[in-house]
Structure 1
């Protein structure tokens, strides 16, 4: 999961540098008034999103498998705790009826 996040961040930073260079060179407009910095960041986000979607498909699939496995383990642990509590509660009730 961390690897996917770092790869996504790297793609964004690369796009940010390229967009900044293109705005500085005058290829892209520099935004309105004092919005130059925000314009560059937003444009880099818009460009990096589809690139990340296509390029990181395999890494995203691996990350989602890790998340699913972790959720499944957490559900199994929760169910084990519930059944353990139910057995302890049943045992306590059974002792109370025999007394």
Structure 2
């Protein structure tokens, strides 16, 4: 998951540099007034999103499988704890009832 996040940030940083250069060279329009920095960030985000979607498909699937595996393990542990508590509760009730 960390690998995917770092790769995504790397693509965003690359797009940010390209967009910054394109805005200051006049290829892309500048923002209004003092909003130029925000305009560059927004434009870099819009450009990097589809690039990340296509370029990181395999890494995203790998991260998704990792998350699914962790969720399945947590569900199994929760179910094991729940059944263990039920068994302990049943045992305690059986011992507390008079014969």
Q: TM-score, normalised by structure 2?
A: 0.98
Structure 2's unaligned 5+ residue stretches are none
In the alignment, the residues of structure 2 paired with residue 95 and residue 55 of structure 1 have an alpha-carbon distance, to the nearest angstrom, of 62
- The corresponding residue for 2:95 is 95
RMSD: 0.7
Match of 2:46 in 1: 46
Q: TM-score, normalised by structure 1?
A: 0.98
**Matching residue of 1:73:** 73
Q: Deviations over 1:41-92 (max 9, x none)?
A: 0000000000000000000000000000000000000000000000000000
Would you say how many aligned residue pairs link Structure 1 and Structure 2? 99
Structure 1 runs of 4+ aligned residues shifted over 3 Å read: none
What displacement does 1:97 show? 1.3
Gaps in structure 1 of 5+ consecutive residues: none
Deviation (angstroms), 1:8: 0.2
Tell me which residue corresponds to 1:56.
Answer: 56
